[in-house]
Structure 1
């Protein structure tokens, strides 16, 4: 399949969601640019509604539903940014939503979802997707996967629309978990320009794409410990894997110690509140995994900021 035509769907997605989401800032990181000897920019999705890029894909999927489907509502399984995004979209559009949370989720996260008006269903980490799909089949609610859905990926790809409207000849550096974000970004980018590269970065201890690309198919890995708690999917999405395989220029890994260094620079030098998962791209640069010269423009996708400053300080000082 030629995914390069996916950019057309991303343009439609941009029109579909633009009245509901922010065109987030794209800023030059002066301190980091100085120490690296090149131009480094950050796309600040930590300043997006819900403080995460996830609302883009969730909203694109929901906005494509029929009136009847909207009336029946939506269901998902997520204890993080995707769950918050689905609950927020449902509140904005006045539709029912159920979020299946694992029994390991905190009371704060549960209350946050409740405050947005969504119903919570508690399951286990292992069974939460099964439970969400059972609810979907039993109650006729539309199941929205956090990453393995082309409508969701096309919504996430609207980030690339905003970046490429401002600059070209760049390297976009994208945190990679299940693959929804990077597949959407790659579809749009490779459809509209030959002068931009898309590079994925995943935790060294959860290298599901590195392994899967070697195997030539989505392959499950053992989940190791990592600071990048938003990038814990152990297997690439079946729908988005071929897009990553065919369109992404490179996928590299990053160690936790490099994520910590990057988080320190972003927090203390650039004064940004970002989740550890958002720091992984800069971590890979610091680790020497991404080659560049002084003429390059490196764009870090800052995926989210749902973290407290004291938590960042604890990680940096640990």
Structure 2
């Protein structure tokens, strides 16, 4: 496919959402840079509204809808950051929203969604997407997929606009789940520069992109245990997979031992409250999966911070 002009759609997405989100900080991680003998930076989406990058894609998708669709509202299936993002966007824009949550979700999480003004529907983990699609058909609400939607991908890609406005000639290291985030970032980066690499990192026990790219087709994996609980999709998105396949420079994996070590460094040394999934990029570096030299600039995408300090401490000090 020819992606040469697709970066312009991400510039448009940034214009679409910039008045509703934060331009998050891009900071140098001094302790980790000294430890690794190179320059390591962090794009702090844990400081974004909703404490996650997910609001970017959710908002771009919703703001791409026509007036009639907005009146009917939106629906999604997510017990995590995407569900919170959709509910927040709906409240900001004054439209109805239904969030389908699994029966395994906590009452605290359910109340959080209610407090944002969204309706919740309880389903099973296996049936939640089917339930959301049924609501779409019955009520006319627009279903917004957590990652496999081109407008969602473009919204997430606005992170790359903000990074490249500040620096070039770098390696951007991105946690990989379904592929919505890294597809958007890669689309913009490869459209505007030849000097920046995009490297994805996925959990060793849920390596759906590594397997799919090796097989030459979209493939499912059996979900294994991982601390990176925000990266659990067992199958790449149908829409975003070819973008990742064609534009991302490399996909590597990392294990829980390295994620724990990386989380410890980010929390205790850099004083950042981040989800375990956000630590996976640093984990891959510590594991020796990403080549670099002392002149490189490594940029970690810190995807979210919806985690308590107690939960972090339980992971790093079991």
TM-score normalised by structure 2 residue count: 1.00
Q: Distance in 1 between matches of 2:183 and 2:216?
A: 16
Summarize deviations over 1:175-213 as a string: whole Å, max 9, x none. 000000000000000000000000000000000000000
8 Å Cα contact 1:5-1:187 kept in structure 2 = no
- Give SS of 1:157's match: helix
Alignment partner of 1:28 is 2:28: yes
- Which residue of the partner structure matches residue 271 of structure 2? 271
Within a 5 Å distance, the mapping from 1:153-232 to structure 2 comes to 153-232=153-232
CA distance in 2, matches of 1:38, 1:153: 30
Partner of 2:307: 307
Q: Name segments (4+ residues, structure 1) moved above 6 Å.
A: none
Match status 1:108 vs 2:108: yes
Question: What do the CA deviations read for 1:289-314 (whole angstroms, capped 9, x no partner)?
Answer: 00000000000000000000010000
Task: Please list the CA deviations of residues 137-161 of structure 1 after superposition, one character each: whole Å capped at 9, or x if unmatched.
Answer: 1110000000000000000000000
Aligned length: 318
CA distance in 1, matches of 2:303, 2:3: 23
State the alpha-carbon separation in 2 of the partners of residues 256 and 295 from structure 1. Answer: 28
Unaligned stretches of 5+ residues in structure 2: none
Secondary structure at 1:41 match in 2: strand
Could you tell me whether the CA contact under 8 Å between 1:56 and 1:152 is conserved in 2?
Answer: yes
8 Å contact from structure 1 (residues 199, 250) kept in 2 = yes
Structure 2 counterpart of 1:45: 45
Q: Deviations over 1:45-100 (max 9, x none)?
A: 00000000000000000001001000000000000000000000000000000000
Indicate if the aligned counterparts of 1:96 and 1:118 stay in contact, CA closer than 8 A.
yes
CA shift for structure 1 position 3: 2.1
Distance 1:227 1:100 in 2: 24
Distance in 2 (alpha carbons) for counterparts of 1:2 and 1:79: 35
Residue 132 of structure 1 is matched in structure 2 by 132
1:13 aligns with 13
Contact 1:77 1:99 in 2 (8 A): yes
* Ranges in structure 1 where 5+ consecutive residues have no aligned partner: none
Q: Distance in 1 between matches of 2:58 and 2:139?
A: 20
Quick one: distance in 2 between partners of 1:119 and 1:170?
Answer: 43
Aligned-pair CA distance for 1:169: 0.1
